[in-house]
Structure 1
Amino acid sequence: MKTVTRRLTMALALAASLAVSAGAIAFAEDKDLIVFDWAGYEAPGFHPKYVEKYGDSPTFSFFGEEEEAFQKIRSGFKADLAHPCSQNVVKWREAGLLQPLDPSKITGWKDLNPQIMAMKDLVYSDDGKVWFLPFEWGNTQLTYNSEKVDEKDIQSVRAFADPKFKDRVSIGDNVDDAYALAAIAIGLKNGAIMNDEQFKQASDFLRQVHKNVRLYWTDTTDIVQALSGGEIDLAWAWNDATVQSVANGAPIKTKKDTKEGFSTWVCGYVMFKDAPGNKDKAYDFLNAINDPQVAKTLVGDWGYGHANVKGMEGVAPEVLKEKGYDAALEQTDRVWFQSPVPSDLKQKMIAEFEKIKAGY
């Protein structure tokens, strides 16, 4: 199954010199800490204080998508920290792969975005234990060609299923984003809480969308080329797609003020139960990525938001606006968080989305 990874083409370019493949290890002088991550996040600009303290980055091992990472860890691969996104944290925790974090050892814990921290089952479990340090976030939203689409026709995300857009639509080849769109469209406030009837309604909506889909995009390059080249006019895409399309001179805009709003995803770091390395260094790394100064790199170079509120406040307003974060997360009535999904529901979504894409 193709899976979309939330990594910008720009981010991958940062790692191109390493010529790494998924699962490869980039060795550093400091081998007391192994971080299992997406390619690109080994850039020292994301953990400068760690490098300053120890003289080098940790050792990084890379995965291509989260299911691959999950299976590799279950098969016995050893690492200290990993970088999953919100929809998969519960699955990793329930599989017994993780150990709780000690927030007293994480500098700036109180500065983390309160809306992200309040997401059910993401940072905290019901017993109050901490399992996840949020790092970056971004939006999936209605994106359109302003020269071909009349804004009056896209007041709702249900426009993706409107027959007038047949062969003019693209959504990601990504079960999480797809069901986020469907859940928003059928009026759910939390897609992680979906009964059998609601799941059927969401799946039926995606089947209607499928009739209009020209392509399921697999990475940022795909969707930017499709939008900029005029191949499609309406997309369910990450915020960086608009930024890059506009940079290409294309008349692409986002519409966050649809009746239902837009979807926000969050990624961050967890600690493995059988972490073999130096735990003090693990917390030093977590402190380094949570440093407010890192926001300037994360937003400016990659176009993602930083979970540290002080970090976002330190980014120049013109940069925030350019990257599509001028409204940040203040518009709580517009934001629909992609919360952690129970494992059994996630497996149903994966299986059903494959059927939908195949035309069944």
Structure 2
Amino acid sequence: MTNRTALGTAMALALTVPSLAAAQDLLVFDYSGFETPEFHQPFIDQHGASPEFVFFGDEDEAFQRLLAGFRSDVTHICAGSVPRWQESGIIEAWDRSRIDAYETLNSDLLGSDVRAGSADLMWVPTDFGSTAIAYNAETVPAEDVASLQIFTNPAYAGRLSIPDNVDDAYALAYLATGVTDWTNATDEQFEAATAWLRQIHPNLLNYWVDPGEIAQLMASGQVQAAWVWNEVPVALADEGFPVGFQRNTTEGTSVWLCGYVNMANGEGSEDQAYDFINAMHAEVSAGPLLDNGFGTANDAALQALGAEALEAAGLGPVTVPVLAQLPMSNEQRERQAEAFERIKSGF
């Protein structure tokens, strides 16, 4: 990266967070909400202001804008997208030696090849959460959510929901069909997971789009059990709803993970890019992230918050296999996305 002299596009100017105090040498392309100062307070302490933030709605939008010429310095994406971005040539590797918390990052979030140093560090995890079954604890017996096969149970037809998200959907389907590592899924395993998703389609009320939507459907009683992110049961519990969150299903549970990529053509400060990542990993950032439903990838900082806080946020320890939503090949992800769209359309 070289020092930025201009944002480069009118769109960037229009969508930049208005802040006279913004640090002008780093532009962060991100989901709305991650500009929260408490998430990167050490960066503010060091530079006197937050980085400049520009927001996108989803990662495909972000990808297309970057291919069209918009320039950022670091971009927030989830693990499943990394191979596609890497193959496009728009990102470059991070330097492990400049990631202060690298040795205490959760190894399950990095992947064994990256941890061993046999693969370039193309993406740095910063935040993660769990996906599991939330259910109405007053109307759904605990034994019914002991297995992911509740989604195939005709007794709950029309009262179930899963995310309108290909990664979460296939994490569920792979687990339900006996796969706990999707990075090397075979054709047969993909076909079995796809068939399982097709099997549960008639049982679903809908494919939920955002956490507020599924929380409302559960609170109204329309949905009795759903495959959700950990922030959903936390929000429902805060409202006094009798929600359960079953992460120890027989087949296992899932963890989604997101982080930042280093943009190859960024015009800002490379030093500030590392300062930002290190601020996100800082111990002081762990509490604010958890309060908003996100676990920090810095396991040392996360564990320092205590078991009670982690359990309350839906991120406590589990005794079953965990499918981490690690990067997969672009071909595999596209195949899953195509199949998922067909299933949602009834085919």
Verify: 1:313 aligned to 2:313, yes or no: no
Q: Name the residue aligned to 2:4.
A: none
Verify: 1:243 aligned to 2:234, yes or no: yes
State how far apart, in whole Å, the 2-side matches of 1:141 and 1:326 are: 12
**Secondary structure of 1:246 counterpart:** helix
Contact 1:296 1:314 in 2 (8 A): no
Q: Name the residue aligned to 2:72.
A: 79
State how far apart, in whole Å, the 2-side matches of 1:114 and 1:120 are: 7
Q: Name the residue aligned to 1:359.
A: 346
Q: Name the residue aligned to 2:39.
A: 46
Q: 273, 279, 290: which one pairs with 1:282?
A: 273
CA deviations 1:16-63 (Å, max 9, x no partner) are: xxxx99x82214432111111111111111111111111111111111
What is the CA-CA distance between 1:233 and the residue it aligns to?
A: 0.5
CA deviations 1:93-135 (Å, max 9, x no partner) are: 1211111111211212212112222x256x5698432112111
**Secondary structure of 1:32 counterpart:** strand
Residues 11-90 of structure 1: pairs in structure 2 closer than 5 A: 24-28=15-19, 29-90=22-83
- Please tell me the residue identity of whatever aligns with 1:134: P
State how far apart, in whole Å, the 2-side matches of 1:44 and 1:106 are: 20
State how far apart, in whole Å, the 1-side matches of 2:335 and 2:144 are: 32
Q: 321, 329, 333: which one pairs with 1:346?
A: 333
CA deviations 1:247-290 (Å, max 9, x no partner) are: 22211101122111110011111101111111111111111111
- Please tell me the residue identity of whatever aligns with 2:58: E
Shift in alpha-carbon separation, 1:332–1:250, aligned structure 2, 3 A: closer
- Please tell me the residue identity of whatever aligns with 1:100: A
Q: Name the residue aligned to 2:208.
A: 217
Q: Name the residue aligned to 2:120.
A: 129
Q: Which runs of 4+ in 1 moved over 6 A?
A: none
Q: 317, 326, 344: which one pairs with 2:316?
A: 326
Q: 97, 100, 103: which one pairs with 2:90?
A: 97
Residues 104-115 of structure 1: pairs in structure 2 closer than 5 A: 104-115=97-108
What is the CA-CA distance between 1:92 and the residue it aligns to?
A: 0.9
- Please tell me the residue identity of whatever aligns with 1:270: V
**Secondary structure of 2:28 counterpart:** strand
State how far apart, in whole Å, the 2-side matches of 1:194 and 1:317 are: 33
State how far apart, in whole Å, the 2-side matches of 1:281 and 1:243 are: 34
- With 188-197 and 155-164 compared, the bigger mean Cα shift is at 188-197
Mark the runs of 5 or more structure 2 residues left unpaired by the alignment.
Answer: 1-10
Q: How many residues align?
A: 334
| TM-score scaled by length of structure 1 | 0.88
What is the CA-CA distance between 1:153 and the residue it aligns to?
A: 2.4
State how far apart, in whole Å, the 2-side matches of 1:125 and 1:26 are: 38
Contact 1:135 1:306 in 2 (8 A): yes
Contact 1:101 1:132 in 2 (8 A): yes
Contact 1:293 1:314 in 2 (8 A): no
Identity %: 37
CA deviations 1:326-350 (Å, max 9, x no partner) are: 32xxx46432111212111111111
- Please tell me the residue identity of whatever aligns with 1:355: R
State how far apart, in whole Å, the 1-side matches of 2:335 and 2:145 are: 29
Contact 1:124 1:131 in 2 (8 A): no
State how far apart, in whole Å, the 2-side matches of 1:322 and 1:127 are: 36
Q: Name the residue aligned to 2:5.
A: none
Q: Name the residue aligned to 2:7.
A: none
| TM-score scaled by length of structure 2 | 0.91
Residues 166-185 of structure 1: pairs in structure 2 closer than 5 A: 166-185=157-176
Q: Name the residue aligned to 1:17.
A: none
What is the CA-CA distance between 1:316 and the residue it aligns to?
A: 4.4
State how far apart, in whole Å, the 1-side matches of 2:285 and 2:103 are: 17
State how far apart, in whole Å, the 1-side matches of 2:338 and 2:115 are: 28
State how far apart, in whole Å, the 2-side matches of 1:299 and 1:317 are: 12
Mark the runs of 5 or more structure 1 residues left unpaired by the alignment.
Answer: 1-19
State how far apart, in whole Å, the 1-side matches of 2:233 and 2:245 are: 7
Q: 129, 138, 151: which one pairs with 1:138?
A: 129
- With 308-317 and 63-72 compared, the bigger mean Cα shift is at 308-317
Shift in alpha-carbon separation, 1:144–1:51, aligned structure 2, 3 A: same
- Please tell me the residue identity of whatever aligns with 2:65: K
Contact 2:109 2:326 in 1 (8 A): no
